[in-house]
Amino acid sequence: MRRRTSVFLVLALMVSLLPSLAIAAAADDDGASVVISQVYGGGGNSGAPYTNDFVEVFNRGDAPVDLSGMSIQYTSATGTGNFGANAGLLVALSGQLAPGQYHLVSLAGGATGDPLPTADTTGTINLAGASGKVALAEGNDSLGCNGGSTPCSPEQLERIVDLVGYGTADFYEGSGAAPTLSNTLAAFRADGGCTDTDDNAADFTAATPAPRNSSTDLNPCGGGEPLGALPVISQVYGGGGNSGAPYTNDFVEVFNRGDAPVDLSGMSIQYTSATGTGNFGANAGLLVALSGQLAPGQYHLVSLAGGATGDPLPTADTTGTINLAGASGKVALAEGTTASAATAARPPVRRSNSSASSTWSGTAPPTSTRAPAPPRPSPTPWPPSAPTAAAPTPTTTPPTSPQPHPHPATAAPTSTRAQVMAGMAMTTSRSSRCVTTSPSLAVRAAA
């Protein structure tokens, strides 16, 4: 949010002040929403991955932001010192920040670790590694409060654009502070900085530091160019009906990760073996024609060949007879309802696949055999990560509340070979209908 006023005050403001503060925040929402997206205070210490502390600022809004006149201000987690009380606790910012752009502020450091990426701003603040309070404030003078022993007045709160209390901090947003950090852990705002529920405990997690600067790829939070219709294969399962299988049928799941509806008419699911000479969809048993509309964030379940073991799938949106190999194979979502000429060459399309296959997107197919995961919520925004193997969780349409993918991370899939739109090759469940290897696993995108 543009002005940060709905913060949690410990021994600070009386409840009677809160309604007027909420009104002020709502009145000043101008679409330029700058937040602190990462905090790291272990730089240069023993075992640290980087030599310097840093604070990362991010524009999650839909308009450019001029950082001139803003500052990063720090104070200890529970002490009596105020934010930015001296030059060693304050760093003035400057420059333009485009929507989805990061700004890296390098701070005090030590001898251990690798250098940070080129910083956009440099300061000397020495962040505590485990607990502290960091504010993004308007103005280059001290806020004059710390939110704990020295409560912040409404005027001082009005200057706070964003606040992160971490560890044992006594001043933070929402229900609690961000996690306790260490020499090897930084606080990350969720979704690359896009999530802001005004709750530090909910919005931040601790993970290995990964500093991003203004040269990092933009990460628009819904404010970038429209995605259009982006159908992809979101899950493949080939163990249906085999011994130990959770479901009676194989299935392929299609998902619209874009922000516009998809007409599936004229598209098809096509299959071929992992390394054989047969083509995708070479006969009726290797191809299923699709139809119907797919809204943004919506799934389409394609039920395939099956057996006697397991529970029935949810009601399928399309039914076919493809007999997927459980351990290795290649699945394509293609334009057209006739066989594709593609076999083992790697077409230039978004594709996810398996270690035993010769066709895929990216550098290598997934080989994960992690323990089965609980069923994921439906629908789920499309994740920008590689697929893994997990317990099959078929999702059918309609979803309860479609959610388009929030970021235009990739352009719409295109192909110069056989109209292939998306594909997945997998080694997940069984090597054939006769030899069972792992009928409890499906290839799916990380949720």
**In this structure, are 181 and 287 located in the same domain?**
no
Q: What is the pLDDT of residue 395?
A: 73
Regarding predicted confidence, which is higher, 340 or 395?
395
Cα torsion through 300, 306, 308, 313, rounded to 10: 0
- What is the rounded CA–CA span in Å between residue 301 and residue 234? 10
Q: What is the pLDDT of residue 222?
A: 72
Q: Residue 86's CB: how many other CB atoms inside 10 A?
A: 9
Domain presence at residue 412: yes
How are beta strands 351-352 and 420-426 bridged, if at all?
parallel
**In this structure, are 105 and 169 located in the same domain?**
yes
Q: What is the pLDDT of residue 152?
A: 97
Sign of the alpha-carbon torsion through 293, 298, 304, 310: negative
Distance, C-alpha 199 to centroid of its chain: 18
Domain presence at residue 1: no
Residue after which a domain boundary falls, among 152, 181, 207: 207
**In this structure, are 402 and 264 located in the same domain?**
yes
**In this structure, are 313 and 416 located in the same domain?**
yes
Q: What is the pLDDT of residue 259?
A: 63
- What is the rounded CA–CA span in Å between residue 418 and residue 438? 32
Q: What is the pLDDT of residue 117?
A: 97
**In this structure, are 162 and 72 located in the same domain?**
yes
Sheet architecture: strand order including 34-40: 121-122, 102-109, 52-59, 34-40, 186-189, 204-207
Q: What is the pLDDT of residue 297?
A: 77
**In this structure, are 152 and 39 located in the same domain?**
yes
Domain presence at residue 20: yes
- What is the rounded CA–CA span in Å between residue 317 and residue 301? 5
**In this structure, are 279 and 177 located in the same domain?**
no
Residue 20, domain extent: 7-207
Going by C-alpha positions, the residue among 67, 13, 12, 11 that lies closest to residue 35 is: 67
Q: What is the pLDDT of residue 344?
A: 37
> What would the pLDDT profile of 21-76 be if each residue is shown by its tens digit?
322 332 233 334 899 999 999 999 999 999 999 999 999 988 889 999 999 999 99
Domain presence at residue 217: no
> What would the pLDDT profile of 67-111 be if each residue is shown by its tens digit?
999 999 999 999 999 999 999 999 999 999 988 899 999 999 999
- What is the rounded CA–CA span in Å between residue 7 and residue 148? 12
Residues in the chain: 447
**Residue 405 pLDDT > 50, yes or no?**
no
Q: What is the pLDDT of residue 42?
A: 97
Domain presence at residue 161: yes
- What is the rounded CA–CA span in Å between residue 257 and residue 242? 31
The least confident of 322-331, 396-405, 436-445 is 396-405
Question: pLDDT-based confidence at 391, cuts 50/70/90?
Answer: confident
Split into its structural domains, the chain has a count of: 2
- Residue 281 amino acid letter: G
Domain presence at residue 241: yes
CATH number, residue 26 = 2.60.40.1260
Mean pLDDT over all residues of the chain?
A: 77
Residue after which a domain boundary falls, among 207, 242, 274: 207
Regarding predicted confidence, which is higher, 58 or 353?
58
Q: What is the pLDDT of residue 62?
A: 82
**In this structure, are 178 and 267 located in the same domain?**
no
**Residue 125 pLDDT > 80, yes or no?**
yes
Domain presence at residue 346: yes
Q: What is the pLDDT of residue 53?
A: 98
**In this structure, are 183 and 267 located in the same domain?**
no
**In this structure, are 194 and 249 located in the same domain?**
no
63 neighbors 174 (Cβ within 8 angstroms) = no
Q: Please state the pTM of the whole predicted model.
A: 0.50
- What is the rounded CA–CA span in Å between residue 158 and residue 165? 17
**In this structure, are 181 and 329 located in the same domain?**
no
Regarding predicted confidence, which is higher, 123 or 221?
123
> If residue 254 lies in a helix (H) or strand (E), which one and from where to where?
strand 249-256
Residues 6+ away with beta carbon under 8 Å from 339: 270, 279, 280, 281, 282, 283, 286, 287
